Amino acid sequence: MTEDELQTLIEDGTADYAAGDSDGALEKLGRATQAAPESFDAWHALAEVGFSLRRLDEAKTAAERAHALRPQDLFINTTLSRIWMERGDKAKAEHFGAQAKIGSWREQLKTPEA
């Protein structure tokens, strides 16, 4: 699968979810993660859809795969914080929330105001 085909599959899966086709979204995002297990975007999209569907175990697994690929990413740390909060583990939620905040500060330092 080419990078463009992968991106289209991720976008189509996300659009399916937005249009109310959860099964279609999960199928497409599942194919994306199988075809490109190193794709952060595919795992993150799958985590977000799983979280939205309240499939917290599946969301956590997908989020952990994305996190392994980009541990300092602001958005995946936020996703993991939300998942752990829903699962009732405040300590882990706070850990990932803090990592997201650090990521936000890191981004701010890259583009300081003039």
CA geometry: angle 40, 103, 86, nearest 5 deg: 70
pLDDT recorded at residue 114? 53
Mean pLDDT of the 7-32 span: 97
pLDDT recorded at residue 103? 79
What does the CA dihedral 7, 11, 72, 39 come to, rounded to 10 degrees?
-40
* Range 3-110 has CATH code 1.25.40.10: yes
Listed by start position, the domains of the chain span: 3-110
DSSP 8-state class, residue 54: T
Query: What pTM was estimated for this model as a whole?
Result: 0.87
